[in-house]
Amino acid sequence: MNMKQHHENPNFIDLEFSVGGKPCLLESVNVNSLLKVAVQQALRDSGNSGRDINDWTVEFNDTPLDLDSKIRDLNLPSGACIELILAHGAGG
């Protein structure tokens, strides 16, 4: 599926993640998948897969997000920037 096609399909959106302050874009994220799937992909793509997903705080517009929610249920717009912040005490 090319980029133009996925933007016409309401089941796919782009999400930008800020992982420890570094941007990571995921294209064509299925809105029917759990947020944790996209977060795990962003962590892998950004080189942060060595840390447990629970070591990160996940927020959109300063509001914590539930990793076990489907992306569509969070009402995230395409292009939303989701912040992944290393939780205090998880510095190792």
CATH label of the domain that carries residue 71: 3.10.20.90
Number of domains present in the structure of the chain: 1
Q: Order the strands of the 63-64 sheet from edge to edge.
A: 22-30, 12-19, 80-86, 56-60, 63-64
Structure tokens, 87: 């939780």
Q: What is the pLDDT of residues 10-68, one digit of tens each?
A: 999 999 999 989 999 999 999 999 999 999 999 999 999 888 999 999 999 999 999 99
User: What pLDDT does residue 89 have?
Assistant: 58
User: Residue 47 falls within a domain, yes or no?
Assistant: yes
User: What pLDDT does residue 83 have?
Assistant: 97
| Overall residue count recorded for the chain in this entry | 92
State how far the alpha carbon of 36 is from the alpha carbons of 31, 39, 43, 58, in Å.
12, 5, 10, 10
Q: Which structural domain, as residue segments, surrounds residue 10?
A: 3-86
User: Residue 41 falls within a domain, yes or no?
Assistant: yes
User: Residue 17 falls within a domain, yes or no?
Assistant: yes
User: Residue 92 falls within a domain, yes or no?
Assistant: no
Whether the model pTM is above 0.75: yes
